[in-house]
Structure 1
Amino acid sequence: MNYFPKVAAICTILALNGCSWDDSANSVEKPEKKSWQSSTSISVINNDNVQFVSSLPESTPNRELLVESWDSYRRRFIQRDGRVIDYEASDRSTSEGQAYAMLRAVLIDDSATFALTLNWGENNLRRLEDGKPVDSLWAWKWGRKSDGSWGSIDDNFASDGDIDAITALILASRRWNRPEYLELAKTKLKDLWKYSTVVAQDKRYLLPGPKAAFVKDSSSIILNPSYFAPYAFRLFAQVDSERDWLSLVDSSYEVLEDSRRISAVNLPSDWVVLDAKTGEYKSLPNDSLLSSAYSFDAFRVWWRIALDASWFNSSRARNYLESSIGHPLKLWQEKSTIPARINLEGKALVNYEATSQYAMLYAASRLIQPSLAEELLEKKLLPQYQQEVWDDNEAYYTQNLAWLGLLSPSAIPPKLLQSN
């Protein structure tokens, strides 16, 4: 399979920023049938006919809102065959979108929607060559091609989507006693390790995608801090003893802790460059199509690290949050607003806000500053929820981050996080 490094890197950031490039949300075609079909045994149910009943504990904060918004998301954004549609980006589908749906489905105990979205991903996003899978990872982008047909547009993978999908598979195997989900997760773990990690200075790092795209030369490695999911790597270690997934926990925190130094206010960046020879971190050049600003990718760092603190009682996670989240919370206390993009000097790059950022900050601040978290909820998150959606009914990225940020970690049954 041929890879084009610059294109792969550009595509990956566009996928994760949830950028709006096209407003064509009204004409959505059904997926083409593929010559190859997944060998995973999955029972598919028409999503329109599924009566969803949540099993979230009654004590879960914002329970009714979470149940309602998930049911609304299923109806608005998930096609009957399981395809998750990003209306803000030419009705495309992405590995990220399928994985978010799977993760949300297992967290709220919706086995039917989980099976639908997994099945669609396996049958439409697998990376093929001559009609045969080259690995078990998912192509990141699927949509309308230049000739008008629908199919995979970019066969490169974005590792965050695969990480979230594998995490969901492991949790689903435990929640619903589905061993085939665990076997699929293990298959994907082998390929994720092989194709999306690299060793530098005797340490292994998670890459955002194919090596050809992100290992530019013998010394420069492009990394995305928002892809690092220590809680997921701990789960991976529980089910795959052949690979040292806990080493990725250590390297993830190393990158997060050290790369924030390129910011005058200790913020994580969307993208950073690791000098593999010196171990130093640098921002990307100003003329790069990738940015080292704090923006829509970096928001997710707060949520991912908060999960590690909550699910696995990680002191390193809590320490990172306490020492890194200060600037945006200070902006909130001083101005009651936080810009959606902030440069390395801590200055606003735009004059608009992002509901997705407030949701991710809420997930982290409820652990370290609960009273401030409550302010974010009451003033920025609940008011933006109208008619069963956040912001507007095409805001795919916002729906996912808002929901994931609001879901209390305590709503997760402990057995899902424990190895059998």
Structure 2
Amino acid sequence: MAILRRTVLLGGLTTLMAGCAPAAPPKPQRIDGWGDFRTRFVQPDGRVIDTGNRGISHTESQGYGMLMAEAAHDRDGFERIYGWTQRTLARQDDALYSWRYDPSLPVPVSDPNNATDGDILIAWALMRAAQRWKVPAWRTRAAQIRTSIRLLLIRQRGRRTLLVPGLQGFLHPDRTTINLSYYIWPALDAFRQADGDAAWGPVIRDGEALLTDARAGPLALPTDWTDVFDDGRALPATGKDPYFGFDAIRIPLYLSLGGRPEMAPTIARFWHSYADQNRPIPAWVDVVTGATAPYAVSEGGCAVVRRLLGSAAPPCAASGQPDYYASVLKTLATL
């Protein structure tokens, strides 16, 4: 179910700070680059194309597109993207979404499994849009998605309450595989505000604890994927590269957006070891061996570094015209 990142570009996903208090709509925000992003990646029917991944679409791309359109006050764009998402990816048995649309397949939506981060993004975007444009149906749909996430994707492993990445493929007899970059902290905080601490507090608090417990290797960094065991251990996931890389770079970003930058001290220390010497930060590092990517993060990755460190970033990877993933992160970085 995981999206294959074929690009070495790491855009800088920054703020959709988004208080979702019922009393007031989100504050007006400016978003640079949305017009270009919509022209290049959003089809007229609302499908957001991942150009770095064989032209597929997925709930991540649709959710990010909805968030950017809302932040840009682009109701037409929002309605097109949400409309395509609902028509094409909505599951029949719950309020979740099938994670992938692949136009090269005879049946483009061939995998009914969901991707929890995509569902979270869609629900959060709907909450924001419902407040901005006063559409009760969007608020209702967001509540339905949150309910399905709570009932189907929050699971116990030992004493921990975990956010499972998808309905299928992550629950094993001896462990649960999670992705800490799926914990989109400002969205989860908005969900708790809407539904109460009893609904979301346990998964939020245990997720925060995992940010410490899942640090691995001499550098004490989190990996893209983590296995959580009954006895409480959190280790790099079996069968996956033990990288702090293309997924995990969103961990400090979401922490920063969610007002928790102090929960990423080892990441800050690792990045400082490069930034303080004006050396390019590698796009990934193997937390076990210390081996690093032979290329640096892009401007977007450097934007994440700047946000966490509060300082100028070191040299970044030069790039031509960025693909979908780099562009979405770079566009959101302008908020």
Q: TM-score range by the shorter chain?
A: 0.7 to 0.9
Query: Is 1:221 aligned with 2:176?
Result: yes
- The CA distance in 1 between the partners of 2:79 and 2:234, in whole Å, is 41
Q: RMSD of aligned C-alpha atoms?
A: 2.2
TM-score (ref. length: structure 2): 0.87
Query: Is 1:144 aligned with 2:88?
Result: no
- Residue 251 of structure 1 corresponds to 206
- The CA distance in 2 between the partners of 1:329 and 1:202, in whole Å, is 35
Instruction: Give 1:2-401 correspondences, 5 Å limit.
Output: 11-12=1-2, 15=3, 17-20=4-7, 56=29, 66-67=31-32, 69-127=33-91, 133-147=92-106, 151-210=108-167, 212-217=168-173, 219-241=174-196, 244-260=199-215, 262-276=216-230, 278-285=231-238, 288=239, 290-309=240-259, 317-345=260-288, 347-355=290-298, 356-365=300-309, 370=310, 372=311, 374-375=312-313, 380=316, 391-393=319-321, 395-401=323-329
Please give the per-residue CA displacement for 1:220-256, whole angstroms capped at 9, x wherever unaligned: 1111111112321221122224952122210111111
Shift in Å, 1:335 = 4.5
- Residue 414 of structure 1 corresponds to none
Question: Is the 2:242–2:288 contact (alpha carbons within 8 Å) kept by the matching residues of 1?
Answer: no
Shift in Å, 1:214 = 0.6
Distance 1:93 1:100, change over 3 A: same
- Partner of 1:137, secondary structure, is coil
Please give the per-residue CA displacement for 1:310-354, whole angstroms capped at 9, x wherever unaligned: xxxxxxx23213443210221122252011110114723321122
Query: Aligned residues: percent identity?
Result: 24
Question: Is the 1:88–1:396 contact (alpha carbons within 8 Å) kept by the matching residues of 2?
Answer: yes
Question: Is the 1:293–1:343 contact (alpha carbons within 8 Å) kept by the matching residues of 2?
Answer: yes
- Partner of 1:222, secondary structure, is strand
Distance 1:346 1:226, change over 3 A: farther
Decide which structure has greater helix share. 1
Shift in Å, 1:95 = 0.6
- The CA distance in 2 between the partners of 1:124 and 1:110, in whole Å, is 21
- Residue 330 of structure 2 corresponds to 402
Shift in Å, 1:144 = 2.4
Letter in 1 for 2:330: A
Question: Is the 1:359–1:401 contact (alpha carbons within 8 Å) kept by the matching residues of 2?
Answer: no
Please give the per-residue CA displacement for 1:102-158, whole angstroms capped at 9, x wherever unaligned: 11112222221111111110000122xxxxx111211111012444xx621322111
Letter in 1 for 2:52: E
Question: Is the 1:230–1:252 contact (alpha carbons within 8 Å) kept by the matching residues of 2?
Answer: no
After TM superposition, which residue ranges in structure 1, 4 or more long, deviate above 3 angstroms? Answer: 391-394
Letter in 2 for 1:319: E
Shift in Å, 1:171 = 1.2
Question: Which consecutive unaligned segments of at least 5 residues does structure 2 have?
Answer: 9-27
- Partner of 1:266, secondary structure, is coil
Question: Is the 1:363–1:406 contact (alpha carbons within 8 Å) kept by the matching residues of 2?
Answer: no
- Partner of 2:325, secondary structure, is helix
Identify the range of structure 1 (243-252 vs 110-119) with the bigger mean alpha-carbon deviation: 243-252
Distance 1:282 1:172, change over 3 A: same
Distance 1:108 1:266, change over 3 A: farther
- Partner of 1:109, secondary structure, is coil
Distance 1:197 1:327, change over 3 A: same
Aligned residues: 315
